[in-house]
Structure 1
Amino acid sequence: MAVVRPLSRSQSVALAAAVVAALCLAVSFAQQIASSQVPAPVKAGVQTRFPGAKVTEWKLKGKDYEAEFNLNKIDIAAKFDATGAWLETETTIALREVPLAIRDKFASQFAGYKVVETQSVQRGDGSELIYEIHFENSKEVVKAQFRPDGKGLERSAKAKATKGK
């Protein structure tokens, strides 16, 4: 007969952290979908907010839709709910456009990482503009969000796939 022992406090904390990390990672994944699977109100919402946008890729993230397109030579990803209401826009920007406080924080906390992409993020709830940096090293790919003053908000990481033989 197996003996079941309660977890120690540190084991409980580690298990809870692992579960939260797994849930965050699962939510961050998006499913690419065909344009024919996107509700008409969502397509109309994109054209209302971004006239002339030609969507190159659609994704389904949970119950929300993400349209990726290039407008005026700028890469944009915009999220809408199923009714076509705008939720968020991620706009690709140059690293030099990221506030200095964020660049300094990044340099001190993530030395040895290479910046892959930088974005400004505007949310439909009227909250302040935030900045998102995607970066990597030899082991992982990380996405982190910052307030303009450099305060970190959210961070998620995925291990890099190992190359098979």
Structure 2
Amino acid sequence: MKKILLPLLGIALAFSFTGKKLLPATIAAGVNAKYPGAKIKGWEIVNDRYKIKITADRSKEVTWFSTDGKWLRTEKHLGLTKDLPAAVKHGFRHSGYADWKIDDISEVSSPDEPLRYRLDIDNGTQLDSWHYDAFKKEVLLYFDRNGVIIKKTGA
């Protein structure tokens, strides 16, 4: 009996020290209500808000909730420019940044603002002697559904 209990006790202790904490019940209820069936991959508290990584409908998303369980926003990762609506692709091609490199694309939704698309872009073509993007400028462009730039941050 001791031969069975000791290994089980060791496994239980190992899992108890992995550092994974349960999401508070109010936050978990909010996530389950907004994204039924989503799998929570991890979470952390950032500036008094819960940042929760989930997978829902085969997509990776980061969703934010307030401490009282209210949904604040969700950022859905889009892997390729082909996943963007045609109007947003057209808007980017005619934005003055068409020759810049797209590093990341996200679809951003929130209860207070209309759906928007964020493109993280850079002009990483200016290399120094070590072939490092020392002179690179990074910009975040936000487009609405119609392909109009509604916000720009960075260079």
Output the TM-score relative to the length of structure 2.
0.65
Structure 2: gaps of 5 or more residues: 1-18, 125-135
Of 55, 61, 76, the match for 2:40: 55
* Counterpart-to-counterpart distance in 2, 1:149 and 1:81: 30
Counterpart residue type for residue 77 of structure 1: V
Residue aligning to 2:110: 123
Of 80, 87, 97, the match for 2:72: 87
Residue aligning to 2:101: 114
Residue aligning to 1:154: 151
Query: Structure 1 residues 113-122 or 37-46, which shifts more?
Result: 37-46
Deviation by residue 1:82-133 (Cα, 9 ceiling, x = unmatched): 11111112222342232333222322321332112222222123x4221111
* Counterpart-to-counterpart distance in 2, 1:58 and 1:144: 26
* Counterpart-to-counterpart distance in 2, 1:38 and 1:111: 42
Structure 1: gaps of 5 or more residues: 1-33, 159-165
Which of structure 1's runs of 4+ aligned residues deviate more than 6 A? Answer: none
Query: How far off is 1:35 after superposition?
Result: 5.5
Count of equivalent residues: 124
State which structure, 1 or 2, has the greater radius of gyration over its C-alpha atoms.
2
Output the TM-score relative to the length of structure 1.
0.62
% same residue: 25
**Greater per-residue helix proportion:** 1
